[in-house]
């Protein structure tokens, strides 16, 4: 029995253990170890969202897992960063960097997975040429775009009023959480320009750019949500007012999704 056969058999056995069923840790390290050069290794690590793309069941759910981790990271960034301008610049730079270098990183990462783990060549259960379930850097990029209105609004408020950040941890979590949810709806259902971008480009660009449009559409939907958070931050708590604002935002988001669906 060759060493490669032994590794494959041991991988299948260990991956069935409950503690490793979701992460498939041994196979991840196998691909990373066999990836050739810095390009493939870096591409594999970054294109999978630092490994968060492997969190899920039966190879699925990686995009949602990475989106949630990205949302938690943005919440922590906003909470720990004193200057709101700095927080906004970090998000803008991260979105720009992933837009420029994301396609090449995704291609490099999928080259490694295609060569050393062909069983991962799936997307929503179907065999595909690119955009595997574990490739989730595009979700990070889309989430960054979707969160830009939140960070930009709070910077404008602090700049114009010379006050501290109006959003506490709770309001920040609500704002980023809604951005994550709306982005995942557009991305998962391929609504509006997302479907066009997916069909327009292939390879790394096809992986990244459809999520760019999903994040952009989510960002278009965010201003009323952020305005609501501003009202909640500056006014005394009123349950009826909160309920009314929540109903208005749900109605607006529902109408917006239907408008984009018709594009």
Taking only the tens place, the pLDDT of each residue in 184-238 is 988 888 888 888 888 888 888 989 999 999 999 999 888 888 888 877 777 776 7
The average pLDDT across 42-53 equals 89
More confident site: 241 or 47? 47
pLDDT at res. 247 = 80
pTM: 0.82
Output the pLDDT for position 2: 56
Listed residue (111, 113, 131) closest to 122, CA to CA: 131
> In this predicted model, what pLDDT tens digit does every residue of 75-115 receive, in sequence order?
999 888 878 888 999 999 999 999 999 999 999 988 888 88
What does the alpha-carbon distance between residue 263 and residue 259 come to, in Å, rounded to a whole number? 7
Structure confidence at residue 24 (pLDDT):
54
Hey, CA dihedral for 48, 94, 69, 223, is it positive or negative? negative
* Torsion angle defined by CA atoms of residues 221, 142, 64 and 21, in that order, rounded to the nearest 10 degrees: 180
* pLDDT band per the 50, 70, 90 thresholds, residue 9: low
- Write down the pLDDT at residue 57: 63
Pick 115 or 45 by higher pLDDT: 45
Number of DSSP helices (H) and strands (E) in the chain, helices first: 11, 2
Of the pLDDT bands very low, low, confident and very high (cuts 50, 70, 90), residue 22 is very low
Better pLDDT: 164 or 15: 164
Contact criterion met (CB below 8 Å) for 168 and 240 = no
Q: Which two tokens stand for residue 183?
A: 């982005």
User: Would you state the pLDDT for residue 20?
Assistant: 44
State the Cα–Cα distance between residues 239 and 189, nearest whole angstrom.
Answer: 33
Q: In this structure, are residues 211 and 142 in contact, taking their beta carbons and an 8 Å threshold?
A: yes
pLDDT of res. 59: 60
Local confidence band at 14 (pLDDT 50, 70, 90 cut-offs): very low
Digit-coded pLDDT (tens) for 145-181: 999 999 998 888 888 776 666 778 888 898 899 999 9
What pLDDT score does 18 carry? 45
């Amino acid at each position: 029995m060759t060493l490669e056969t032994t590794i494959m058999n041991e991988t299948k056995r260990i991956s069935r253990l409950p503690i490793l069923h979701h992460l498939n840790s041994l196979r991840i390290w196998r691909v990373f170890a066999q990836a050739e050069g810095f390009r493939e290794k870096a591409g594999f690590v970054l294109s999978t969202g630092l490994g968060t793309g492997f969190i899920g069941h039966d190879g699925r759910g990686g995009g949602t897992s990475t989106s949630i981790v990205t949302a938690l990271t943005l919440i922590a960034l906003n909470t720990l960063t004193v200057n709101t301008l700095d927080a906004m610049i970090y998000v803008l730079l991260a979105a720009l960097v992933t837009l420029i270098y994301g396609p090449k990183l995704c291609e490099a990462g999928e080259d490694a997975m295609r060569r050393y783990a062909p069983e991962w060549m799936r997307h929503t259960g179907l065999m595909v040429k690119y955009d595997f379930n574990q490739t989730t850097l595009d979700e990070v990029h889309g989430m960054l775009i979707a969160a830009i209105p939140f960070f930009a609004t709070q910077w404008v408020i602090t700049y114009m009023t010379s006050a501290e950040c109006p959003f506490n941890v709770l309001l920040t979590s609500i704002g980023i959480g809604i951005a994550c949810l709306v982005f995942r709806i557009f991305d998962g259902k391929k609504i509006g320009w997302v479907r066009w971008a997916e069909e327009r480009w292939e390879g790394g660009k096809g992986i990244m750019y459809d999520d760019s449009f999903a994040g952009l559409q989510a960002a278009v939907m965010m201003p009323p949500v952020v305005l609501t958070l501003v009202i909640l931050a500056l006014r005394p708590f009123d349950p009826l007012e909160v309920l009314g604002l929540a109903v208005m935002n749900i109605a607006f988001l529902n109408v917006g999704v239907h408008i984009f669906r018709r594009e």
